[in-house]
Structure 1
């Protein structure tokens, strides 16, 4: 972990806009619990639409991208011994 200054353009709850050092454009900070909810919504949408429906592949790609962000978030918190801000049941 390192500490650096970031430019904060907006600190609106669940939608902070900030620019990381060295980046040309700002990004949006999505809180971990909000990211988890987005993943759950994407899972539900994929289940609802079904594999044979038009647009499923694009929706599934979106779900996979969100899930990769969430997995990176969870691994990073685990690396630093931090608890998740949401509950995930343990798989058997």
Structure 2
């Protein structure tokens, strides 16, 4: 772990917008528990979405895959720093 400066554009709860000084555009900070909830909700939708068009199903798969990768990375980082999961 290291500490670095970031620019904070908004620190409203569930709407944190920051920019790492090495990045051109700001990003949104998603708390781990919120990320987990979003992923679980999409997994439920995906399991029940047998009437979606092929295009819509593909888009849903892409979003689920992206969030799953973020969740895997989040869990790995917490584990590597000895931080318990918030969910």
TM-score interval, normalised by the smaller of the two chains: over 0.9
Distance 1:23 1:69 in 2: 18
3-state DSSP of counterpart to 2:24: coil
3-state DSSP of counterpart to 1:39: helix
Q: How does 1:15-34 map to 2 (within 5 A)?
A: 15-34=15-34
**Counterpart for residue 89 of structure 1:** none
Moved over 3 A (4+): none
State yes or no: 1:43 paired with 2:28.
no
Normalized against structure 1, the TM-score is what? 0.88
Unaligned runs of 5+ in 1: 87-92
**Counterpart for residue 73 of structure 2:** 72
- Aligned pair count reads 85
3-state DSSP of counterpart to 1:28: strand
**Counterpart for residue 8 of structure 1:** 8
**Structure whose residues are more often helix by fraction:** 2
3-state DSSP of counterpart to 2:28: strand
Distance 2:52 2:3 in 1: 46
Unaligned runs of 5+ in 2: none
Distance 2:15 2:67 in 1: 16
**Counterpart for residue 52 of structure 2:** 53
